Amino acid sequence: MSDSQLVARAVAGDAAAQRELYEAHVDRVYRLAYRLAGDDELARDFTQEAFIRAFDRLPSFRGDSAFSTWLYAIAMSVALNGLRGVRRLRTREVAFEGAESLGHTPRRADPDLRDRLYRAIDDLPTGYRTVFVMHDMEGYTHEEIGEVLGIQVGTSKAQLFRARAKLREALADFAGAWTA
């Protein structure tokens, strides 16, 4: 049964249809939430909230876009808003950890290139990081990203380009390591 048929049944109050919609999309929503949050509890929270909002708003879904696009847009809105609240806490933790190592660890002594990459991804501006995660890690197309985030396809491409440039810059002292 197609999403649009399931949506029609779900709007009519069919709980089984809601469950089917959930089963069909929960993996992708949770994966994306986890990729952005890096925390199971937050990812669960965002995923649950996204589905609660989606089911509440289902009667207003007009079918202008695919149900999945509409749902992922809600999920991204929930996740990005939620992450704004926790970012400050993380910044403080990172600042504290950073203060301990200041002046002690030469940059080149960083042991693990992948760890450096992960930290560089964490440090990307939200827009760049979101597009990078969606495109390079979760396989969304620029068209999908544009629809979900409400941005132009060109903007999505530009943000991905800049994200990669920033990562390249952050890993400059490992230049060439990835060609080995």
Binding site for other proteins (CB under 8 A): 19, 22-23, 26-27, 30-31, 34-38, 40, 43-45, 47-49, 51-53, 55-57, 78, 81, 84-86, 88-89, 113-114, 117-118, 121, 132-133, 136-137, 164, 167-168, 175-176, 178-179
- Select from 170, 163, 116 the least CA-distant residue to 135: 163
Taking the complex as a whole, the smallest distance from the CB of residue 93 to other proteins amounts, in Å, to 10
Q: How many Å apart are CA 172 and CA 165, to the nearest integer?
A: 10
Taking the complex as a whole, the smallest distance from the CB of residue 6 to other proteins amounts, in Å, to 15
Taking the complex as a whole, the smallest distance from the CB of residue 76 to other proteins amounts, in Å, to 14
* Residue 108 per-residue DSSP state: G
Amino acid of residue 41: E
Closer to other proteins at the Cβ: 104 or 114?
114
Contact (Cβ atoms closer than 8 angstroms) between residue 142 and residue 158: no
Closer to other proteins at the Cβ: 6 or 104?
6
Closer to other proteins at the Cβ: 116 or 147?
116
Q: What is the DSSP string of 9-48?
A: HHHTT-HHHHHHHHHHHHHHHHHHHHHHH--HHHHHHHHH
* Residue 138 per-residue DSSP state: T
Contact (Cβ atoms closer than 8 angstroms) between residue 129 and residue 87: no
- Select from 35, 29, 9, 128 the least CA-distant residue to 73: 29
Closer to other proteins at the Cβ: 42 or 148?
42
Closer to other proteins at the Cβ: 94 or 168?
168
Taking the complex as a whole, the smallest distance from the CB of residue 110 to other proteins amounts, in Å, to 14
Taking the complex as a whole, the smallest distance from the CB of residue 115 to other proteins amounts, in Å, to 10
